Amino acid sequence: MKAYVFDNLPGDQRLPHDSGREIDADALQRLGVLYYRISDLADVDKLAADRGYRNRDEIKVSPATMGDIYETKVKSFFDEHLHEDEEIRYVRGGAGYFDVRDNTDEWVRIRLEKDDLIILPAGIYHRFTTDETNYTHAMRLFKDEPKWTPLNRSDDLDSNQFRQGYVSTFLT
């Protein structure tokens, strides 16, 4: 895992966009973002049981697995959004970027590779993209039935109870 402030320069979203301003795991944790390096699937199972994640699925994001919809899907994953549930991703292969908003509303880019696991809290604004290799194989973990409902950022969304809970816990 490598985290840094996103440079906000124009260009392909799949490029590093590394500003050179690194962010450490403690700073991520202050934003509610939890990071784990786990090489053994049994340890993922233990974390899942400890946190009450009962369901999971796997997704391979690549042109080979998604065909003609790949570019459209990767662009939609990159729209700024939040979820009303934690977002848990365990990278099984390839790599990708999760971008999260910090307490000044800057983007923090988090590069994840095989064996990296990230937990984003409910209510955090974020987005995802593959890197320039165009391949991410991820396990998605869920507390309840698998669902992935993004709520795209808008002024109205700031009053969402999950967003307000996130802000009051991590951004004040």
Tell me which residue has tokens 């009053």.
Answer: 159
Please indicate if the annotation marks 83 as binding a ligand.
yes
Q: Is 87 annotated as a binding residue?
A: yes
Measure Cα distances from 34 to 30, 92, 121, 128, 143 in Å: 9, 17, 8, 16, 16
> Helix, strand, coil: what percent of the chain each, to 5?
25, 40, 35
Q: Is 17 annotated as a binding residue?
A: no
To which H or E segment does residue 38 belong?
none
Per the annotation, binding residues are 81, 83, 87, 126
Q: Annotated binding site for Ni(2+): which residue ranges?
A: 81, 83, 87, 126
Binding-site residue ranges for Fe(2+): 81, 83, 87, 126
